[in-house]
Amino acid sequence: MEKTVKLNNGVEMPVVGYGVFRIPEDETKKVVGEALDTGYRLIDTAAGYLNEKAVGQAINDSSVPRDQIFLTTKLWVQDYAGDNAEKAIDGALKRLDQDYIDLLLLHQPMGDYYNAWRALEKVQKAGKVRAIGVSNFESYQVADLIVHNEIAPAVNQIEINPLNPENDNVNWLKESNIVPEAGGPMGQAANGIFTNPVLTEIAKNHHKTVGEVMLRWNLQRGVVVIPKSVHEARIKENFDVFDFELTDAEMKQIDGLDEHNSYFKGLLTPDTVKTLGNMKFDYQN
């Protein structure tokens, strides 16, 4: 299996990355360093994670050359309107202490994301960002962006795991030459996913863990994965997914686990959408 995928603008992106969602800033530098030492070359953060500065420090302190690291961050809703978007992108570069960002995503499909998208197009053309995309967008929203803008998203990062495989969205994204990326590839460890009998039996057959099986299943579907852990052994384990292959029968077994059970979408009531849309983060310094 190839360890990178080519985006729709020719940029190469690793297929296994390390995510830092909900990792406190004072822990982030250490674990990102461990991930880079393990072999990860994709690091995924966001302004709203409040740990961009530590991610940048880990990258700058690493012996891995910068041009071998694929750095992703995300723009939060509070910065979508007016000229705030471009200012926020410069702010992210400053916090990360980097000359460029490899992939910049709009974090949520809320607020004035059309204006923000056009700011992303502008900074990509200026060379501050190598590729642009979205996160948590439904496919109809991605299609709408494509129709009415110049540059199509290269990536859509959405919640994808065996209990919520997002088959229709994954298939449409791939048909549209947009890379699907799995946030929460292990289902937030909810709904008994780590003790699921189908997954545990398949893991046993391959002498692998359930986590490794879930990641491999997504990879074989053409989905990029960004698992998260703060434990060094698990960080290494989650990268050890290139030395085995699931059979067609096993893939079908896992496909049959679909419960249409999205942790994130389950939270999206009108009230929580209002809350997210009005959420402000203090990440300016």
**Residues making up the binding site for substrate:** 107
Provide Rg for the chain, Cα atoms. Answer: 18
* Cα 267 to the center of its chain, rounded Å: 19
Q: How many residues does the chain have?
A: 285
Q: Please give the single-letter amino acid code of residue 103.
A: L
DSSP state of 164: B
CA 131 vs CA 139, 252, 283: distances in Å = 19, 33, 23
Torsion 187-188-194-197 (CA) sign: negative
Does 18 participate in catalysis according to the annotation? no
Active-site annotation holder among 49, 80, 113, 283: 49
Torsion 52-99-11-81 (CA) sign: positive
Torsion 161-214-240-250 (CA) sign: negative
Nearest partner of 137 among 177, 97, 92, 178, judged by Cα? 178
Q: In 97-231, which residue ranges form alpha helices assigned H by DSSP?
A: 113-126, 139-148, 167-175, 197-206, 210-220
Q: Report the alpha-carbon distance of residue 100 to residue 98 in Å, rounded.
A: 5
For the annotated binding site, the residues are 107
Residues designated catalytic? 49
